[in-house]
Structure 1
Amino acid sequence: MMRKDIRFPCMATALLGALLIAVPQAQAKPGPHAPHELHVQAQSSLDVAPNMARLNARLWERTPAVARSKADNDTQALVEARQRLESRTGKLIRALEEAGVKSDDIKAGSLSVHPEIIAHSREGDNAEDQVRTQIARPISVTIHDLERLPSILDALTAAGVDALDGVEYDLKDRDAATDKALSKALERAKQKAQLMAKTLEVQLGDVIRIEETQSPTYAPRSMMMRAESADAKSAPEYRAGEISIDAGVSVTWEIED
């Protein structure tokens, strides 16, 4: 008896196709809905009046000018210039202490030595440039009471400083000022979010993300010293102005269903 092989090519192909279609459809099932969010960015600027300052001054002495070829042998003049500078520095520090500045608020920097070339016109074969050496020392004074700034400046001038590099205004408590600027930025973000939620008629949920977009930092305010009045007999006035502190935040709220 002969056995007949029965094949169903069309049915097998259809069944395989149905399985291939069913698998991706099962993988494409949508998951849970992502929460609705309200994203807000805000910035703030805080103006603070400075309550301290630093004065930067310089003293220097120079050696006599000598021919460039003899400059290496002029060590005695260099020693004498340094002695004069140290003597003037001591007098300046004592004058500041007499003006009421504490010793801890006076900083005398390190000595710096700079050669200076004095060029001359070349009128003959023996013409030679001259050289002198400048020895300088910076002095920094911290002032905790800004009302005493004019009297301290008078003491510096009377002591014969060679240069006053200006006033640098600052804050005694930097952390408190930067924290206040950051709080102001966060309050601004909250106000914006509440306004947007009210306008769109949605309900704010929990805060789910907070980031700083700009760290609240600032630079001390520098100002050159000058008299505000043209009358030379009147006392000079120094305006500290205000220091600006900027901060920025990014806050995300969940929107309740």
Structure 2
Amino acid sequence: MSLSTLNHSRVAARPLKRHGALGRAIGLGLAGALATLTLATPALADKTPRQIQVQANATIDVAPDQATLNARLWERTPAQVQGEETSGNSDAIKEARDRLETRTGELIRTLENAGVDSKQIRAGSLSVRPDYMQTASRGEDSAPPKVRTQVERSVSLTLNELDRLPRVLDALTAAGVDSLDGVSYGLQDSNAADDRALEQALERARQKARMMAKTLDVDLGDVVNIQETTAPRYQPQMMMRAAEADSSGSSAEYRSGEISIDAGVSVIWEIDD
């Protein structure tokens, strides 16, 4: 190898040494940055929000101002031995249906005469079904099973004046309804009652939060989250209490009781520093 060639090799090798030193410096810098980031992470994790979370419930009792009644009327064809129905059965069904429609019309007119608004009366559609009759067996001589056809209609009505209830019940009895499913009491404006229950639940939550903050010697900040845990709801009450008429001939009394409405909330406040 000549001298010029050897000198050229030494000169070309110097940048490689500088590059190696630069790489080591960059590597040490990155390692230091990562170490700093790792040390800072626990400090950031310790800064959790300072909050107070409160759950509260409220129940209000409301007197109902609406009553719903459900009655049913039905007619039946003569019983026949099952499996041996005659061709005249269709005529018997038509006759039963005609009697039913007549009775339904009379019932609706009776209710209107009792002061019920015609818009509050709902007559259901016609229902036809077989009615299987149980026959008693005497030893080995058991009577063959019999069946008849029952045609039925439902009539429901809503009263917004509860003082009319006794008169309406008397009218239903006089009309000879075959079934009366009692009285269901409810509210004309259930949303207003729901709002009252929810307001009381929120007020209770605020009272609890203030008491907790005072006891722990902290200050409440802004509300950061509100959630319903129990949506306001109520079930119409099925209550009817009839008092026997006394010697003066006073009518029976019907008491609706009260409707309970529950509401629940969960509220989160910040704690001021």
TM-score by length of 2: 0.82
Q: CA deviation at 1:34?
A: 3.2
Which amino acid in structure 1 is aligned with residue 272 of structure 2?
E
Tell me whether 1:254 sits opposite 2:267 in the alignment: no
- 2: distance between equivalents of 1:56 and 1:150? 15
For residue 220 of structure 1, what is the aligned residue in structure 2? 236
Following superposition of structure 1 onto structure 2, how do residues 24-173 of structure 1 map, counting pairs within 5 Å?
24-29=35-40, 30-31=43-44, 33-71=47-85, 73=87, 74-120=89-135, 121=137, 123-124=140-141, 127-173=143-189
SS of the aligned residue for 1:71 comes to coil
For residue 12 of structure 2, what is the aligned residue in structure 1? none
Which amino acid in structure 2 is aligned with residue 184 of structure 1?
Q
Which amino acid in structure 1 is aligned with residue 57 of structure 2?
Q
Q: CA deviation at 1:226?
A: 4.5
Q: CA deviation at 1:200?
A: 1.3
- 2: distance between equivalents of 1:77 and 1:96? 29
- 2: distance between equivalents of 1:246 and 1:57? 31
SS of the aligned residue for 2:83 comes to helix
Question: Structure 1 or 2: larger helix share?
Answer: 2
Deviation per CA, 1:104-144: give whole Å up to 9, x if none.
0000111111211223337559x422111111111101000
For residue 209 of structure 1, what is the aligned residue in structure 2? 225
CA pair 91-21 structure 1, distance change in 2 beyond 3 A = same
Structure 2 unaligned regions, length at least 5: 1-26
SS of the aligned residue for 1:229 comes to coil
SS of the aligned residue for 2:257 comes to coil
Which amino acid in structure 2 is aligned with residue 89 of structure 1?
T
SS of the aligned residue for 2:103 comes to helix
Structure 1 unaligned regions, length at least 5: 1-15
TM-score by length of 1: 0.86
- 1: distance between equivalents of 2:57 and 2:66? 27
Tell me whether 1:196 sits opposite 2:212 in the alignment: yes
SS of the aligned residue for 1:209 comes to strand
